[in-house]
Amino acid sequence: MITQRWSDSREAVAWERERQRERERWAREDEARTFEQRRQAYVEFYEALKAMARTAYDHCFGFTDETQLAEGWQSETFAKLAQLQFYADRPVSHAASEAYGAAWSWGHYGVHDAPDDPAFGDLNEAFDQAEHEMLSLMRRSLSIPEGDLTLPLPGYSDEAD
């Protein structure tokens, strides 16, 4: 009887230990899955944002025939922003909203076929700064290692150039 009790006790401890290992494995899998979903949301938003900014740039340079941007020209990027905000931490979410707003302003307030308009440079610069901040926070959030921090982010050149 005593032997059976010890055996049951050892078995209960082993069973609980196995259940704890299983919970830890599930937690790691959930964390990895969430990380991948966050990474995908960041990349998809960044790609849509770059396309949106390109649309604004083309509009201001007169590379399009229309004097007004098409209805809903920003809709895809806005949808990607909503997805990103679900997975992103607050600093990245805020920076992404700021970058989206800067791209929207560039397209909305930019004058068609007027690259010499002083507002064009201001709107372009505002977008570049917002994008740079967002990209920097995204890379940090995803733990992308930085090499030489004195170098500009990918896609940017040093202002001294």
Residues 86-141 have pLDDT tens digits of: 999 999 999 999 999 999 999 999 999 998 999 999 999 999 999 999 998 999 99
The better pLDDT of the pair 130, 2 is held by 130
Cα(119)–Cα(74) distance, integer angstroms: 20
Which pTM was predicted?
Answer: 0.78
CA-to-CA dists, residue 72 to 40, 60, 99, 104, angstroms: 23, 17, 18, 11
- Residue-wise pLDDT for 24-83, tens only, equals 888 788 787 889 999 999 999 999 999 999 999 999 999 988 888 999 999 999 999 999
Side-chain-side CA neighbours of residue 145 (13 Å): 1
